[in-house]
Amino acid sequence: MVLNIFPFLCCFTVLGLCFLAWLLYAAAAWWTSAVVMYPLAAQSTTVPIPHSEDMDVQAEGMDVADVSKFCKSMGLVIGMNVGCLQFKSNSFDKVLTRIEIYMFLFGIMIYILHRVILSSTCSSIRTSSTCSSIRTRDMVSLILYWIPNTCAPLVAIPMITFCIPIGGAAKITILIIGYIVLVATNFRQLRSDVMRLFLQTPSAPTGEYGVGQEDLLSISRQHDFSLLQQLGGVAGLCEKLKTDSKKGITGNDEDILARKNAFGSNAYPRKKPRSFWTFLWEASQDLTLVILIIAAAASLALGIKSEGIKQGWYDGGSIAFAVVLVIVVLAVCDYQQSLQFQSLNEEKRNIHMEVYRGGRRIEISIFDIVVGDIIPLKIGDQVPADGVLVAGHSLAIDESSMTGESKIVHKNSKSPFLMSGCKVSDGYGTMLVTAVGINTEWGLLMASISEDTGEETPLQVRLNGLATFIGVVGLTVAFVVLVVLLARYLSGHTKFADGTPAFKAHKTTASKAIDGVIKIVTIAVTIVLVAVPEGLPLAVKVTLAYSMRKMMRDKALVRRLSACETMGSATTICSDKTGTLTLNEMTVVEAYANGKKVERPTDVSLLSPTLSSMLMEGVVQNTTGSVFVPDAGGEEEVSGSPTEKAILHWGLKLGMKFDVERLKSSIIHAYPFNSEKKRGGVVVKAADESVRVHWKGAAEIVLALCNHYIDENDCVQPLHEQKMHFFRKSIKEMAAGSLRCVAIAFRSVEPENVPTNEERLAEWVLPENDLVLLAIVGIKDPCRPGVKDAVQLCTSAGVKVRMVTGDNLQTAKAIALECGILASDADASEPNLIEGKTFRALSEERRQEIAEKISVMGRSSPNDKLLLVKALKKRGHVVAVTGDGTNDAPALHEADIGLSMGIQGTEVAKESSDIIILDDNFSSVVKVVRWGRSLYANIQKFIQFQLTVIVAALIINVVAAFSTGDVPLNAVQLLWISLVMDTLGALALATEPPTDYLMHRPPVGRREPLITNIMWRNLLIQAVYQVTVLLILNFRGLSILHLEHEPSTRAYKIKNTVVFNAFVFCQLFNEFKARKPDQLNVFEGVVKNPLFIGIVGVTLVMQIVIVEFLGKLTSTVRLSWKLWLVCIAIGFVSWPLAVIGKLIPVPDTPLSRLFKRKIPRRRRAQGHEADKADGSSSDCTIEGEVQLTSVLVVQPLSA
């Protein structure tokens, strides 16, 4: 009886020890993390990657691998237990098996418990803002993560014991040892994971800052206004974060590092990009390559069986090697393009913002923003982090990107919370950053999504259609070749070089017959591989990536791939004036004040005292710029928009003390500058309780609101008609001198008329009538150097440049004449020169007529620009538009190509655009046009090159197959040709740099055929030449090459090698011709493309190696130097032939249109004959004509 109980006791003891080991393991994990690792992480100076609330998300993410292992273990253990219960007869083994099943069920129970606890705890952690400390949350997350790892031994060890055919006692011993080893191993893994997790987790705030991370998260995420009040409001929060609400943080390296350690960085974890092995796997999924691999494997097996491993591996091994080489090259190319797109995407994310640090207003990357930063916000900015409003005026935020509701939310002291990722739609203000990176809702959202790189451009869509059409033709040809070759082979008509039949019924062995059939199938499949132009999509990828990288160097950041190719079709560019055609370096050069012109604008002694005082107040308060005066002395630093900076610089030259003047009065309310009304104003309250409204804006608009001015004696005088005429004339004269005119005015307001309630104040309309004119200034903004040449280059390229500006019409006219947009004063009349309001008032039909003639539109609003874009598009133009303001977003979005400005452009404008001009220079816009045309031209070059190869290869193999039952180009040779044609050809021709020649021809229409008449001419000439010469060599090569005296087998191989070698050399020479389809000098600029020279050189060297040294793999033989010269000569002759061919004129009208014209004429003639016959009339339509001509020319899709 004792003996029967002993096994049960042993097994239960083992189970108890395992459970105890699991408890000790969990306790050790807790102790290690809480006592050992956490203090080390807290003391670490490593800059952390903030996790906080994302900790549980990471735990779930890391748990996926464990779940997979766990499920696999469950399946194995269940199967083994069932098997052991059926076949074991020993009672001890049965009991042990049951105990192992209990252990397995115990592991499942723990795992289920883990999932329940994990889901409930993580949800409570995610929603709770009153967690006692970050440490508690981190410990819970860590333990919940490691529970599955403790379940794994409970499942894995019993599985191992079943695999060993030993007794029960030995099993128990192995079980105990296995658990000890596994627990020890996992404990070390636990230590490393704890270090990794905790070094990435922001440490809990210490006494260095007066507020903890949990409180800040509660404020930023839950918008806990009561908690904000408990902390002393915004002012108290600034104090606790050691931030000055006006000067910002100190900004030194130690301060930045301390804030990053305490609150995290403004970054978020990104999805891991696809690895090279992923691209390798995708490249190997091609059906034709898979069939070739299968055929290679079968050929390899049959060859080894019949001829032995030394000789039998050549056929199958060579095909397999060639296929692997093609796959690797394709994967490398795709992987390289992916890396380039990733680097460009990083540039898109790297937004630059202005912050206050140490009192200085500086520009930094959005990734360098830390908690405690004071950030100025203006219309069009993106809120870079979560925060609270410090001060603002009419600040309105578009929170649709976070809430999904297209509702503008106004921010004030009662609703101060700002969310990262939202846009400023109106007003201006400053914010205090309270949360960054993954601690913001925007950060969590961005961390959970991946970059979409699957965008297909219109050109790719068109090329896919072309590739499909060519592929169908190639598939048909391959099928015909397969049928013919099989029929000839099985009927005994296919013969070896010595004349013996390759197949004899009832005599040829099965293995040789199967091997012959496999070779025929391999040839047919390889023809499909050559015929399917897989290089077309690769060529688009290569040229897009190459163009985007080069455009980046030319100060153009592409946001949407389709814009690259569409820009090449642009027929008109609607450009801003300020900052695009001009330098955006503004200076006040003229001023009118006290009712007269000020001879020296920077001499304050020429201004009356009262006017000077009011002018200083208006300049200081009615601005979104700022002035920083270094403590150590030195020149003041002025920041803001170019116009604001020019006026502030003028004020400083007049003796204005910015900080002193600011303290003399305070802003009650503000009306930000509006591009519709062309003016902005503020209400200020002075120390003596007096209230004044200051206005600043377009000179003629503000002047129209004025009824008085201050004369030389400091007296307010009525602005009578004579004086009004004087000021209007002055504005016109300054505008004619290409000066931007700005007027500054004010008026007094009774304090009791100013609302005191914040809600009513936000809705209060500033008084803008009965103003007192203070000054009118003329601001000089010179044209950019080289902009006139750029405009002329556009004109010669068939691209009309139109200036659309909000400036005075006379200023716009002067700049247009200087830039070359207007040729002379004779052109400066309607409709060439028009005001926005005039254009706006026209009917839609009339606007379309006028739009064609407009060269300059002055005093235009963003809506006027939008109307112009719509009118031009309806007239069939491909429109490119530049813009920098928030209100330009609709026009940028409506245009075929939206071009935003990288320096002065707002984030709203940039997100609505397709390309960002990083230097705001019009010359960069012209460079984008060049690259767009180059992209399209490069694709056409590759199409011509590839179609020539396809046509020649298909015809040669088809004719040979029908004639002799064999093909001169075998599978390995065709694979090498495919590699040369698809991958290497795409790399060589798709990376041609743009030339000036591209800008001396009209833009290519988006509906123009991809294959032009010139391409058809070049393609047919080369294809006919190659087919003729190579077929002659194939059928008469033995006599032409004087190979009659050679053994028949060797002579046959020499002839086929010459055909193969000559064909490759024809393609090498054809690559040079494809560079310049419509130019005689094909070598022009070839040294500027080292990649082209390198690829041609590599191809040449590889061809020599293949022929001379890899004969057994490629079924070639070494050639004499005379035969090498013959092959080179065959390729070389194609050059003079191409020159002669380019002298043959071709019609400008595409072939598709010629067919469209001929077919209706024929139909009309048939219709008239039918009318005469039956007396009826028939109308001829052309609805089906596109289908009749689409075989010759693939009609492009609209962009």
Active site residues: 576
- Read off the amino acid at residue 842: L
User: Distance (Å, rounded) from C-alpha 1190 to C-alpha 1196?
Assistant: 10
Neighbours of 740 (CB within 10 A): 27
Name the residue among 1050, 1058, 1072 with its Cα closest to residue 1128: 1058
User: Distance (Å, rounded) from C-alpha 107 to C-alpha 700?
Assistant: 83
Peptide bond before 718: cis, by omega within 30 degrees of 0?
Answer: no
**Residues for the chain: how many in total?**
1199
- Helix (H) or strand (E) run with residue 971 in it: helix 971-979
- Helix (H) or strand (E) run with residue 736 in it: helix 721-736
User: Distance (Å, rounded) from C-alpha 170 to C-alpha 151?
Assistant: 23
Q: What share of the chain is helix, strand, coil (3-state, %, to 5)?
A: 60, 15, 25
- How does strand 626-628 pair with strand 637-639? antiparallel
Tokens of 822: 């207007």
User: Distance (Å, rounded) from C-alpha 349 to C-alpha 343?
Assistant: 10
User: Distance (Å, rounded) from C-alpha 316 to C-alpha 305?
Assistant: 12
Neighbours of 1005 (CB within 10 A): 12
Strands (DSSP E) found in 711-816: 716-718, 739-749, 771-780, 800-804
Which of helix, strand or coil describes residue 558? strand
User: Distance (Å, rounded) from C-alpha 704 to C-alpha 731?
Assistant: 12
CA distances from 1037 to 1029, 1030, 1032, 1033, 1123 (A): 10, 9, 7, 4, 12
User: Distance (Å, rounded) from C-alpha 837 to C-alpha 754?
Assistant: 34
Q: 830 has which bridge partners?
A: none
Task: Provide the H-helix boundaries in 88-212.
Answer: 91-127, 134-162, 168-199
Cα Rg, the chain, nearest whole Å: 39
Name the residue among 67, 26, 37, 34 with its Cα closest to residue 150: 26
CA distances from 421 to 301, 387, 900, 907, 910 (A): 61, 11, 19, 10, 14
User: Distance (Å, rounded) from C-alpha 85 to C-alpha 101?
Assistant: 10
Check: CB of residue 604 under 8 Å from CB of residue 619. Answer: no
- Helix (H) or strand (E) run with residue 568 in it: none
User: Distance (Å, rounded) from C-alpha 134 to C-alpha 197?
Assistant: 13
Q: 674 has which bridge partners?
A: 679
User: Distance (Å, rounded) from C-alpha 169 to C-alpha 158?
Assistant: 14
Distance of CA 769 to the CA centre of its chain: 49
Name the residue among 611, 586, 585 with its Cα closest to residue 598: 611
User: Distance (Å, rounded) from C-alpha 776 to C-alpha 590?
Assistant: 8
DSSP symbols for 412-474 = BTTB-EE-TT-EEEEEEEEEEEEE-GGGSHHHHHHHHS--------HHHHHHHHHHHHHHHHH
